[in-house]
């Protein structure tokens, strides 16, 4: 099957899939999201109703607390003066407090004084709660009465649902002991329900407590979303159910918008499909068929001298001309180029790997030789001989004492040898880990991938020193400038930069040795520079060794060039360092004032913006 019908079928199929996906998204995601938004809005409206109801009950609880913490109330509970009832518990007082009932209870739940009032008619309300002589034995607030704790809630009465609040009777300063409880209540009227709806900006309806099953329920109709919530009384029994009606305006408008968008999308898809087929056929499919026939002819005829000569200026024309150029030389040059590139790359990589492994293996070999000598010198055989003689029984007590003294000294020496061996094994373990890391980094470098890690330069320098031979560390003292500490954390290819620093430290130690010095100093400093929009890390390593002649400053990085003995140096280290730095996008150069006056190595490694954190910034983060 040719590519032309395939492209046409694929393009049409893509648009069909997109259309089906658009319909599914509308039905499964967009429209359900509108419905969910309405459900959330309805539940939020019910929460607002609940909050508004709490506010109304709070308006009853505030005067109850004020009257409960009133000196006159406290004195009345002590002396039961009837003048308090006549002058203070009046119809005017209840209207001012906007409550329908007031009760004063003693510590045992008995009703000391009560008053109920219909606020509209200014007549007694006839409330069953106000006619009681005492609270019912199972009334839940008896515990609050004993503990002098305020309470609030809903209570069904013979005149409707009562919003009730109670507060302990205190001495006017919030002190005690409590002498009873002040109880006030207000009937929940239809106007209160409408006020709740107005505060919550929702349509609210009061229903009987058995209208739904459970605490809350949500139902949906085509035009409304309804949320029901049941409220409990002070006994924990359902006392009323409120219903909130939210019009489904969001769904209606969303459906209209989705329908309009779908129609526009289908029309646009048809137009784009027709234009796309025409453009693909004219600009791509027809020229591509010409190139394809030419390629097939080349394969069938094996004639590499045939030329396409398409005569176009676009990408397909460029492709045709390049195909003509490549056909003439592809058979010979491709094989030769691949072979040479592979051999050259493999050899270059092998030199760098072997050189770095040689640097890392040298300190391990030295420590192993030293460990072998210390273990060989340990008095193990003599100790075994002394133990055998003691077990056999010494000829005289003086000989036994000498053997025991020898064993004590031998054990001390063996313990020291074991501790020294443990220290050497730990160092060699870290050095072996460094070798494994170097091998892993070399493997990653074959894919031209460098792992970027956050690191402090002082720690990076310490890690580099760990894989430097002991003889170099003993000959060279590394002096880190304060600028390394102030730079804080930088993000670099840590393993590559560590190997570069290792090579430079070894070269500095050898320069000190060639200068005839027993001990030298390598001073390391760093700074962040900016080149255009790019930040760069500038490392400077200055030694006091033999120095570099002016004519050799550029040549020291050439492969195979070295001013040292060819038996111990092959001119690979600095060449590898230069290649590694270049691979990171940076550069390296040397500076020296001449022979005998030391030398400096400068490393410039690019950093992305915001990849450094100064010490001051780190302190601010830790102190925040």
Asked if residue 554 is part of any domain, the answer here is: yes
Q: In which band, very low, low, confident or very high, does the pLDDT at 617 lie, cut at 50, 70 and 90?
A: very low
Same domain, 487 and 616: yes
Same domain, 412 and 463: no
Classified as helix, coil or strand, 345 is: helix
Asked if residue 285 is part of any domain, the answer here is: no
Q: Tell me how far apart the alpha carbons of residues 578 and 496 are, in angstroms, rounded to a whole number.
A: 11
Asked if residue 33 is part of any domain, the answer here is: no
Question: Which residues lie closer than 8 Å to 200 by C-beta, 6 or more apart?
Answer: 45, 48, 49, 51, 52, 244
What's the structural domain count of the chain? 3
pLDDT at 540 over 90: yes
Mean pLDDT over each residue of the chain, to the nearest integer: 82
Residue, of 380 and 457, whose pLDDT is higher? 457
Same domain, 98 and 165: yes
Q: In which band, very low, low, confident or very high, does the pLDDT at 328 lie, cut at 50, 70 and 90?
A: low
Same domain, 396 and 468: no
Same domain, 107 and 211: yes
470: tokens are: 């002991």
Same domain, 416 and 533: no
Q: Residue 124, Cβ neighbours under 10 Å: how many?
A: 13
What is the arithmetic mean of pLDDT over 150-162? Answer: 93
pLDDT at 596: 86
Same domain, 431 and 496: no
Asked if residue 211 is part of any domain, the answer here is: yes
Same domain, 141 and 51: yes
460: tokens are: 């990076």
pLDDT at 337 over 80: no
Asked if residue 213 is part of any domain, the answer here is: yes
pLDDT at 619: 39
Same domain, 473 and 415: no
Asked if residue 50 is part of any domain, the answer here is: yes
Whole-Å CA distances, 43 to 203, 244, 250: 13, 9, 15
pLDDT at 311 over 50: yes
Range of the domain at 523: 450-623
Residue, of 219 and 398, whose pLDDT is higher? 219
Residue, of 172 and 354, whose pLDDT is higher? 172
Asked if residue 465 is part of any domain, the answer here is: yes
Contact at 8 Å (CB) between 534 and 467? no
Same domain, 242 and 363: no
Asked if residue 479 is part of any domain, the answer here is: yes
Classified as helix, coil or strand, 260 is: helix
Query: In this predicted model, what pLDDT tens digit does every residue of 419-460 receive, in sequence order?
Result: 888 887 887 787 777 776 766 666 555 545 566 777 888 888
Same domain, 591 and 467: yes
- Among 254, 286, 309, which residue terminates a domain? 254
pLDDT at 126 over 80: yes
**CATH code at 556?**
3.30.565.10
Same domain, 146 and 217: yes
- Among 254, 285, 316, which residue terminates a domain? 254
**CATH code at 73?**
3.30.450.20
- Among 254, 279, 307, which residue terminates a domain? 254
* DSSP states along 576-594: HHHHHHHHTT-EEEEE-SS
39: tokens are: 């459900």
């Amino acid at each position: 099957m040719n590519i032309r019908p395939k492209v046409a079928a694929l393009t049409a199929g893509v648009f069909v899939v997109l259309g089906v996906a658009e319909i599914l998204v509308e039905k499964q995601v967009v429209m359900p999201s509108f419905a969910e938004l309405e459900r959330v809005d309805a539940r939020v409206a019910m929460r607002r109703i609940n909050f508004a109801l709490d506010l109304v009950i709070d308006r009853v609880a505030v005067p109850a607390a004020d009257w409960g913490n009133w000196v006159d109330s406290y004195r009345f509970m002590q002396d039961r003066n009837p003048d308090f009832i006549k002058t203070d518990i009046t119809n005017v007082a209840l209207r001012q407090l906007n409550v329908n009932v007031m009760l004063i209870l003693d510590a045992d739940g008995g009703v000391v004084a009560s008053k109920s009032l219909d606020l509209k008619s200014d007549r007694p309300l006839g409330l069953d709660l106000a006619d009681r002589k005492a609270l019912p034995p199972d009334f839940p607030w008896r515990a609050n009465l004993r503990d002098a704790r305020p309470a609030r809630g809903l209570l069904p009465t013979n005149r409707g649902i009562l919003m009730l609040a109670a507060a302990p009777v205190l001495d006017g300063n919030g002190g005690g002991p409590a002498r009873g409880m002040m109880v006030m209540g207000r009937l929940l009227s239809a106007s209160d329900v409408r006020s709740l709806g107005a505060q919550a900006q929702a349509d609210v309806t009061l229903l009987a407590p058995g209208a739904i099953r459970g605490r809350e329920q949500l139902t949906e109709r085509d035009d409304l979303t309804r949320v029901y919530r049941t409220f409990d009384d002070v006994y924990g029994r359902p006392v009323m159910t409120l219903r909130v009606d939210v019009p489904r305006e969001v769904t209606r408008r969303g459906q209209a918008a989705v329908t309009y968008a779908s129609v526009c999308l289908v029309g646009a898809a048809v137009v784009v499909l027709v234009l796309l087929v025409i453009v693909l056929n004219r600009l791509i499919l027809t020229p591509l068929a010409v190139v394809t026939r030419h390629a097939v002819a080349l394969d069938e005829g094996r004639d590499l001298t045939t030329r396409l000569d398409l005569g176009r200026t676009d990408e397909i024309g460029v492709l045709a001309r390049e195909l003509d150029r490549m056909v003439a030389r592809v058979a010979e040059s491709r094989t030769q180029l691949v072979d040479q590139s592979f051999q050259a790359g493999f050899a270059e990589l092998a030199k760098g790997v072997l050189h770095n492994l040689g640097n890392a293996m040298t300190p391990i070999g030295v420590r192993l030789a030293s460990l072998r000598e210390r273990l060989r010198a340990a008095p193990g055989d003599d100790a075994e001989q002394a133990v055998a003689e003691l077990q056999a029984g010494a000829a005289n007590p003086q000989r036994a004492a000498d053997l025991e003294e020898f064993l004590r000294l031998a054990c001390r020496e063996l313990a020291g040898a074991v501790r020294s061996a443990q220290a050497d094994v730990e160092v060699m373990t870290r050095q072996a880990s460094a070798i494994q890391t170097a091998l892993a980094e070399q493997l990653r470098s074959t894919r031209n991938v460098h792992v970027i890690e956050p690191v402090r330069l002082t720690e990076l320098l310490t890690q580099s020193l760990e894989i430097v031979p002991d003889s170099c560390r003993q000959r060279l003292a590394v002096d880190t400038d304060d600028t390394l500490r102030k730079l804080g954390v930088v993000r670099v290819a840590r393993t590559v930069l560590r190997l570069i620093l290792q090579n430079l430290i070894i070269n500095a130690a050898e320069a000190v040795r060639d200068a005839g010095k027993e001990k030298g100093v390598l001073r390391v400093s760093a700074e962040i520079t900016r080149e255009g929009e790019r930040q760069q890390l500038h490392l400077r390593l200055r030694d006091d060794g033999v120095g570099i002649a002016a004519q050799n400053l550029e040549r020291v990085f050439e492969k195979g060039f070295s001013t040292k003995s060819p038996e111990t140096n092959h001119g690979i280290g600095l060449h590898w360092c230069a290649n590694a730095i270049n691979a990171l996008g940076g550069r390296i150069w040397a500076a020296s004032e001449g022979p005998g006056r030391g030398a400096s190595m400068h490393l410039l490694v690019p950093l992305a913006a915001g990849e450094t954190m100064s010490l001051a910034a780190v302190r601010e983060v830790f102190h925040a």
